[in-house]
Structure 1
Amino acid sequence: MAKTKLYIARHGKTMFNTIGRAQGWSDTPLTKFGEEGIRELGVGLKAAKIPFRAAFSSDSGRTMQTMEIILRETHNQDLPYRHDKRIREWCFGSLDGGYDGELFQGVLPRTVALATGKPDDQVTYPELAAGIMEVDTANWAEPWEVIKERIYSGFEAIAQRLEASGGGNAIVVSHGMTIGTFIWLLDEKRGKTPLDNGSITVVSYDNGRFTIEKVADMTYRHKGREILDKKK
Structure 2
Amino acid sequence: MVNIYLVRHGKTMFNTIGRAQGWSDTPLTAAGEMGVTELGLGFKAKGIKFDRAYSSDSGRTIQTMGFILANSENEGIPYRFDKRIREWCFGSFDGGYDGELFDGVLPRIFAENGSLEEGFPDDEKVANAIYAVDTAGWAETWEQLSGRILEGFTDIAKESEAADANNIVIVSHGMTIGSFVKLIRPELPRPHGLDNGSVTHLTYENGKFSVGKVGDMSYRELGNKILTK
* SS of residue in 1 equivalent to 2:139: coil
Q: Contact 1:111–1:134 at 8 Å: present in 2 too?
A: no
Counterparts of 2:69 and 2:156 in 1: how far apart (Å)?
18
Counterparts of 1:133 and 1:104 in 2: how far apart (Å)?
14
Counterpart of 2:45 in structure 1 is 47
Q: 1:100 aligns with which of 87, 98, 101?
A: 98
User: 1:210 is aligned with what amino acid?
Assistant: F
Counterparts of 2:92 and 2:78 in 1: how far apart (Å)?
35
Alignment of 1:101-140 (within 5 A): 101-112=99-110, 115-121=114-120, 123-140=121-138
In structure 2, relative to structure 1, the CA distance for the partners of 1:114 and 1:6 (3 Å cut) is: farther
Counterparts of 2:179 and 2:197 in 1: how far apart (Å)?
17
For structure 2, which runs of at least 5 residues remain unmatched after alignment?
Answer: none
Q: Contact 1:40–1:228 at 8 Å: present in 2 too?
A: yes
Counterpart of 1:198 in structure 2 is 197
Q: 1:64 aligns with which of 62, 65, 80?
A: 62
Counterpart of 1:210 in structure 2 is 209
> Percent same amino acid at aligned positions?
56
Q: 1:32 aligns with which of 30, 35, 41?
A: 30
Counterparts of 1:155 and 1:163 in 2: how far apart (Å)?
12
Superposed displacement of residue 118, structure 1: 2.0
- Normalised by the length of structure 1, the TM-score is 0.95
TM-superposition CA deviations, 1:156-207 (whole Å, max 9, x none): 1111011001131101000001100100102233323431000000110111
4+ runs deviating over 6 angstroms: none
Counterparts of 2:183 and 2:134 in 1: how far apart (Å)?
24
* SS of residue in 1 equivalent to 2:190: helix
Instruction: Supply the RMSD in Å over aligned alpha carbons.
Output: 1.3
Counterparts of 2:77 and 2:63 in 1: how far apart (Å)?
15
Superposed displacement of residue 114, structure 1: 7.1
User: 2:91 is aligned with what amino acid?
Assistant: G
Aligned length: 227
Q: Contact 1:190–1:215 at 8 Å: present in 2 too?
A: no
Counterpart of 1:19 in structure 2 is 17
Q: Contact 1:108–1:132 at 8 Å: present in 2 too?
A: yes
* SS of residue in 1 equivalent to 2:51: strand
Counterparts of 1:160 and 1:46 in 2: how far apart (Å)?
26
- Normalised by the length of structure 2, the TM-score is 0.96
Q: Contact 1:182–1:191 at 8 Å: present in 2 too?
A: no
In structure 2, relative to structure 1, the CA distance for the partners of 1:180 and 1:167 (3 Å cut) is: same
For structure 1, which runs of at least 5 residues remain unmatched after alignment?
Answer: none
Counterparts of 1:8 and 1:107 in 2: how far apart (Å)?
31
Counterparts of 1:144 and 1:210 in 2: how far apart (Å)?
21
Counterpart of 2:149 in structure 1 is 151
Counterpart of 1:84 in structure 2 is 82
Counterparts of 1:202 and 1:74 in 2: how far apart (Å)?
17
* SS of residue in 2 equivalent to 1:117: coil
